[in-house]
Chain A
Amino acid sequence: MSSYHANHTMNSSMASTSEHYHPTSEHHHPTTSSGHNHGEGMMTMDMTFHFSYKNVPLLFYGLVINTPGEMAGAFVAVFFLAMFYEGLKIARESLLRKSQVSIRYNSMPVPGPNGTTLMETHKTVGQQMLSFPHLLQTVLHIIQVVVSYFLMLIFMTYNAYLCIAVAAGAGTGYFLFSWKKAVVVDITEHCH
């Protein structure tokens, strides 16, 4: 595949590895090339930032970006993924605060030893393990961890377009969603 070669000659730091890499070998058929010493499905990784839209692997096996249009699509998808991640983080936070607010009112008067009434407050910040909010939080946590690893792996491609998409998505998501969060914080701080 000629795009391999074009990709590597752009990158001076990879010159040492591209020497022993056979430029005509197709990565889908690694057995056809003789001088191929990488594993099956293994791609040589770029280790510095670069702008390119040729042969950019994206997370999954079949997902390889080869045209500017595909890169534009990937840019938008990554942008929205990063936005979704920020929104999810803030949604989880506000959900937790909401369920904690309902727990915080769990104080009740208890008759004291000398006829006085004591206010017994259950300050259980940790919820019950088998409650709906906690299960929801757990599921959302799984999604958050998976998405955050995806974003990390996307950033690890060192593709500048995709890195910009991650950063821009995070910024936009934070700008759009934390507006609500900040107001929520404001209200809860107000009550004291």
Chain B
Amino acid sequence: MMQMYFYFSDKVVLLFDFWNVRTPAGMVLSVLVVLLLAMLYEAIKISKTKLLRQTILAIPTTLSQESLREPETGSVNSNLGQQNTTSKRWFLYHISQSLLHVAQVVIGYLVMLVVMSYNTWIFLGVIVGSTLGYYLAYPVFTSR
């Protein structure tokens, strides 16, 4: 039955029928999984902005080269090809960004549902995972 207040217990059912935790060892494992899930959420969030910045840095250079070369008529073919690769790269970027967004939405909802089990161990796992994820993902993704 649904619990409406926080409680400490090593018995919980999370998200799926088969994720049925009954033992302390299972609870430790579940907290670890949930922790990784929360970390993944933060990583996706930051990698999205990282990807955006990277693409913006990569694309305007080709665009400005195009505008520079435009007065010299003659390289129409290469110009067209370059524009094609630019838009292709942009499309690929946009597809991956959208997929990342779907992953972020789904994982975000899953984490919410996991927290809604009101199991305190699971909740602490989410909080620690979110903290660790934010702490680690930011330097890792910006240094590269």
Contacts and interface: CB of A to CB of B under 8 A. Distances in A.
Interface of A: 11-13, 16-17, 45, 47-50, 152, 155-156, 158, 163, 166-168, 170-171, 174-175, 178-179, 182, 185-186, 189-190
Nearest to B91: A179
A40 B14 CA distance: 27
A48 B52 contact: no
Given A48-B16, A156-B113, A178 B94 contact: yes
Contact of B15 (A16, A49, A152): A49
A178 B101 CA distance: 11
A171 B99 contact: yes
State the 9 A-B residue pairs at the shortest beta-carbon distance, nearest first.
Answer: A171-B102, A175-B98, A174-B101, A170-B105, A155-B109, A48-B17, A13-B13, A167-B106, A174-B98
Nearest to A13: B13
B66 to A, nearest CB: 13
A185 B109 contact: no
B1 A158 contact: no
Contacts of B117: 47
Nearest to B102: A171
Nearest to B90: A182
Given A156-B116, A167-B106, A11 B1 contact: no
B68 interface: no
B98 A171 contact: yes
- Report which residue of B17, B94, B95 has the largest number of chain A beta carbons within 10 angstroms of its beta carbon: B17
Nearest to A12: B17
Nearest to B1: A17
Interface string B70-104: 00000000000000000000000011011101100
A190 B56 CA distance: 9
Contacts of A189: 56, 60
Contacts of A190: 60
A48 B109 contact: no
Interface of B: 1-2, 13-17, 19-20, 52, 56, 59-60, 94-95, 97-99, 101-102, 105-106, 109, 112-113, 116-117
Contacts of B56: 185-186, 189
B60 A166 contact: no
Contacts of B60: 186, 189-190
Contacts of B20: 13
Contact of B98 (A11, A12, A48, A178): A178
B44 to A, nearest CB: 13
B112 A45 contact: no
A177 to B, nearest CB: 10
Nearest to B98: A175
Given A48-B16, A163-B109, A186-B56, 5 more contacts: A13-B17, A156-B116, A166-B109, A171-B102, A189-B56
19 contacts: A11-B17, A12-B17, A16-B1, A47-B2, A48-B13, A48-B15, A49-B16, A155-B113, A158-B113, A166-B109, A167-B102, A167-B105, A171-B105, A174-B97, A174-B101, A175-B94, A179-B94, A182-B97, A186-B60
